[in-house]
Homo-oligomer: A and B are copies of this chain.
Amino acid sequence: MPDRRASRVPLTRERVVAAAMALADEKGQAGASMRAIAARLGVEAMSLYNHVAGRDDILDGMVDAVFAEIELPAPDDADWKAAMRDRAASARAALRRHPWAVGLMDSRGHPGPATLRHHDAMLGALRTGGFSIPLAAHAVSVIDSYLYGFVLQELSMPLGAAGDLDEVAGDILSGLPGDAYPHLTEMINAHIMRPGYDYGREFPFGLALILDGLTPDEDQGAPAR
């Protein structure tokens, strides 16, 4: 008979973090309790502590693993805008794949190696594109703020487009005297409840607006070519 769980493979911090991520993806962050993570690995809760400092350490690892999933901007891409666009799309996809990640990002002050590598690559791409140090700092701040904030809003929406929005719309339109919230009502009726509406399509608009507002302030790629 095989042993009850393939405990041939050794428990490691990586395996613990991976199990926690899978669990969080399936049942939400709260579903990834120490006991549940351990059970998924065929082990008891306290055994995790031999490889991990505690729950917070696992959470840190999860956030870093999400950063590791994001495609880095190519450091020698002559077209910095395209690099920023691709990287933003990849980051948004990763954050949607792991919806708990955005909520974990505050409260977590210990960036892991993948996080650091990621930010280094961002700065590298911008510097190569001709951004001075202060302007690169500005650029990273705007771009990432927009990215995180957009995903945050996107995730706080219900699903697809209609469905639950109907419900909210109903709450808004009903019961109240005349219409409180006239502009909101107008927006919902004339725009959001339209058949093809999808909030996700707003993403490229805002990103393009931001990227078009940024202009390199140094010669293009000093050492490049």
Contacts and interface: CB of A to CB of B under 8 A. Distances in A.
B191 A156 contact: no
A201 B111 CA distance: 22
Assembly stoichiometry (copies): 2
Query: Which of A99, A146, A149 has the most chain B CB within a 10 Å cutoff?
Result: A149
Contacts of A153: 105, 141, 144-145, 148
Interface stretch (A4-12, A19-27, A43-51, A203-211): A203-211
B181 A117 contact: yes
B168 A120 contact: no
Query: Which of A106, A109, A111, A153 has the most chain B CB within a 10 Å cutoff?
Result: A106
Given A120-B181, A183-B127, A144 B137 contact: no
Contact of A133 (B145, B146, B181, B191): B191
Contact of A106 (B102, B136, B205, B206): B102
Nearest to A122: B183
A107 B184 CA distance: 22
A155 interface: yes
A156 B108 contact: yes
A93 interface: no
A155 B106 contact: yes
Interface string A184-225: 101100111000000100100110011011100000000000
A119 interface: yes
Q: Which 4 A-B pairs have the closest CB atoms?
A: A149-B149, A145-B149, A142-B206, A123-B183
Given A120-B181, A142-B206, 14 more contacts: A106-B155, A106-B156, A109-B158, A116-B172, A116-B184, A120-B180, A141-B150, A141-B205, A144-B153, A145-B146, A145-B206, A148-B148, A209-B213, A213-B213
24 contacts: A99-B106, A102-B152, A103-B107, A107-B155, A107-B156, A109-B158, A111-B168, A116-B184, A119-B184, A120-B182, A124-B183, A137-B191, A138-B202, A138-B205, A141-B150, A141-B205, A141-B206, A142-B206, A142-B210, A145-B146, A146-B146, A147-B149, A206-B210, A209-B213
